[in-house]
Amino acid sequence: MASNLASLSNDLSAAVAKAAAGVVAVHARRRIGTSGVVWRKGVILTTNEGIASEDRIRILLPDGRIVDAKLRGRDPRTDLALLEADTGEIAPVEFIADSKLQVGQIAVAVGRTAETGPIASMGIVSGVAGEWRSWGGGTVNPFVRLDISVYPTSSGGAAVDPSGNCIGIVSTGLSRTSVLALTRTTIQRVAQQLFEKGYIGRGFLGIALQPVRIPDDLRKNLQLEQTTGIMLLGVEPEGPAVKAGLTIGDVLVSAADRNLTDPDVLARVLEGAKIGEPVQFRVIRGGSIRTVGVTIGERPVRGR
């Protein structure tokens, strides 16, 4: 037993050391800093909650250097942010495939502080599920919950397996009750947009809407299984919906193979849609179903 525990202890120490080689300390809020990981050469991935000020962001690198950083982009809805800084020859962290995550596996949160250097806490992956929407409407996929008691400075650090492979970054800003790991699929989708644009482009139709119940006789005539749809109460002039021919009173019932039973489902469709590409909507108009192709626009700045 003692030898097994010693072996586990040595393995975990090696895992922390491996991960810490790519973990930095981020100082962008008063008193308590956070952590981040080197995502690409010259680019640091961290959490949005750790960026209280965009001025005078300082980074402590694993090699001991302290460098200035500037914000490249942030997304409060998924709690991700990108910083630009001179990371030198520090190798970027590589994230393992989401398919390798299992409930019950050991997970270690690895961060860094200026006072103590690398910090670590251990627990397990307590939940792995499909698509999840944050309180701000951002999509996290998959949803990975960690049963780990983390330090405030661990936010933005690496969540790793017992071999030191990075499963995601630690997020404490999306749930009041849970510590999450933002994993490769979410990071690739969000961080790449932040890298290219500095913000996340959100799909946009230019409509005001509300859920409505579809009368039973109409459902039967149209062979619809769903009981509700989304009625257009208003359309923006020159918006994507108007350009496609949608009008006030239309009831959206499906798009992208999803039944539009409420506005939240539509928000998920727009979250996954590519801006500038058409999406086919099935619409109730005049007691019949018709298909309308809508080219998805990009939400104006005021709505981000």
Task: Among 197, 219, 253, give the residue marking a domain's end.
Answer: 197
pLDDT band at 301, cuts 50/70/90?
low
Average pLDDT over residues 4-18: 88
Average pLDDT over residues 221-243: 94
**Which residue did the predictor score with more confidence, 157 or 302?**
157
Residue 303 confidence (pLDDT): 41
Q: What is the pLDDT of residues 142-191, one digit of tens each?
A: 999 999 999 899 999 999 999 999 999 999 999 888 999 999 999 999 99
Q: What is the reported pTM?
A: 0.80
Q: b/e string for 270-292 if b means 16 or more Cβ within 10 A?
A: bbebeeeeebebbbbeeeeeeeb
Task: Among 197, 227, 246, give the residue marking a domain's end.
Answer: 197
Average pLDDT over residues 26-51: 95
Q: b/e string for 112-127 if b means 16 or more Cβ within 10 A?
A: bbeeeebbbbebebeb
Residue among 81, 69, 45 nearest 158 (CA):
45
Mean pLDDT over all residues of the chain? Answer: 92
User: Are residues 150 and 232 located together in one domain of the fold?
Assistant: no
Q: Residue 210: which domain range?
A: 203-303
Enumerate the β-bridge partners of residue 229.
212
Q: What is the C-alpha separation between 115 and 31, in angstroms, rounded?
A: 12
User: Are residues 191 and 207 located together in one domain of the fold?
Assistant: no
CATH number, domain containing residue 239: 2.30.42.10
Task: Among 197, 232, 248, give the residue marking a domain's end.
Answer: 197
174 in Cβ contact with 160 (< 8 Å): no
Count how many domains the chain has: 2
Average pLDDT over residues 243-270: 92
